[in-house]
Amino acid sequence: MASKPKSLKPIRPSAGVGAFYERELNKLIDEMEASLRYWLRARYRRVESQITQDANPATDLQKLMTQLTAKWRLKFNSLSQHLAPAFVQQAQGNVDRTFKSELKKKAGFTVNFNPNKDVSGAIKACVEENVLLIKNVGEQHLSDVNQMVLRAVAHGGDLGELTKGLEQRLGITRRRAANIARDQNAKVTSAINRQRQIDTGLFEAEWVHSAGGRNPRHSHVEAGRKRLRFDVREGALIDDERIWPGQKPNCRCASRIILKGFNDE
């Protein structure tokens, strides 16, 4: 009976890297929310009597929101330029350390990862995607708050209603930031891991399902249960398409590299 080939343990996203990303995003989200709340409350108090008297203070509030939007758009743009590459660099470090450690432990050899265009291309794409996502977090929040303010004026809402709406919107934005951090941590880890596998000529892998999600995809559960083998250069054939672990939204699956030629005793 043929002995079972050795494999490397799945490389999972680092919880610390994900926490760093979410923490840095939330830091600016909270600063933006405090600023919006302060200035909107101050201006709303000034025009609240006009609202109840069916006057039209919308122009004044719209001017304020235009100023605040410009200010915070710049801040999120600035954050995106250093947070996105810092996050991707940390995720890459996690992959490289784990990969090297596993190869040393299971196969007894060391590797040095030198820069090449494929890895650089994957890293560049990951950074660019996260730059856009970070910018959009601020943009979406500001757009929603702007609409909220205009609705409050149009329907004669008071300051209490506006404050409650701002609190609800903050919760939504923070949950979105958490989801982005978690999802991108999985995607970036998967993308860099795939390129490292290709670099080292280790093309065969098994699909490993993660039980961490509340709504797992049945096809991913089955792929994990059957230990679906696939070529990392092509992806696994699941639901009639070639995909990689962590590629689909909220997918936390990973892969186990098969070491051909290295058998267990």
Domain regions of the chain by residue span: 13-200, 202-265
Q: What is the pLDDT of residues 101-114, one digit of tens each?
A: 999 998 888 888 87
**pLDDT exceeds cutoff 60 at 53:** no
H helix intervals, 108-212: 117-154, 159-199
Could you give the CA distance from residue 5 to residue 258 in angstroms, rounded to a whole number?
A: 7
Whole-model pTM over 0.75:
yes
CA 125 from chain centre, in angstroms, equals 14
Q: Is the four-CA dihedral 70, 179, 236, 194 of positive or negative sign?
A: positive
Give the residue-averaged pLDDT of 183-207. Answer: 94
Averaged confidence pLDDT in the chain: 89
13: number of Cβ within 10 Å:
25
Residue 158, pLDDT score:
72
Best CA proximity match to 7, nearest among 222, 223, 208, 186? 208
Q: What is the pLDDT of residues 17-32, one digit of tens each?
A: 999 999 999 999 999 9
Q: Is 207 helix (H, G, I), strand (E, B) or coil?
A: strand
Give the residue-averaged pLDDT of 76-99. Answer: 97
* pLDDT band per the 50, 70, 90 thresholds, residue 51: low
* Torsion of Cα atoms, 115 then 121 then 123 then 127, to 10°: 140
Residue 1, pLDDT score:
43
